[in-house]
Amino acid sequence: MGGDGTGKANIVSDQDAEVWGVAYLCSPEALDELDQAEGVPDHYVRRSVNVALDNGDFLNAIAYVANPNKLAEGLKPSPEYLQYVLRGIRYHQLPESQFALVEELGRRTL
């Protein structure tokens, strides 16, 4: 849950699911800035994730995952936040199926 009472994007462990995203190479200083922005360790925590790259290689990466005490059923993203996420999907040319999935999930809760 965001500080404004709205829902935000999050990932959960599910061996049968996939999550599309973008991986960035970050310096330790950049990670410290992200920690501040994401509210680590109160709101989000860093988790190690194994990422499959487009070329078939794998990358050990860091993902920010919401603390369980910040999760709540029925939270809705703000329309602005939903559009922000959808613009990112388009900008990074993620599959159309991901755009449709996020759009459906976001609109279903609005």
Inside any domain, residue 23: no
Inside any domain, residue 57: yes
Average pLDDT of span 94-98: 94
Q: 27: which 2 tokens?
A: 């310096």
Average pLDDT of span 95-100: 94
Number of domains in the chain: 1
Inside any domain, residue 13: no
Widest distance between CA atoms in the chain:
39
Inside any domain, residue 72: yes
Domain of residue 59: give its range: 28-109
Show Cβ contacts of residue 46 under 8 Å, excluding neighbours closer than 6 positions: 35, 40, 62, 63, 64, 65
pLDDT computed for residue 110 by the predictor: 52
d(CA 43, CA 70): 6
Inside any domain, residue 22: no
pLDDT computed for residue 53 by the predictor: 92
pTM of full prediction above 0.75: yes
Inside any domain, residue 3: no
CATH assignment at residue 37:
3.10.490.10
Average pLDDT of span 15-36: 93
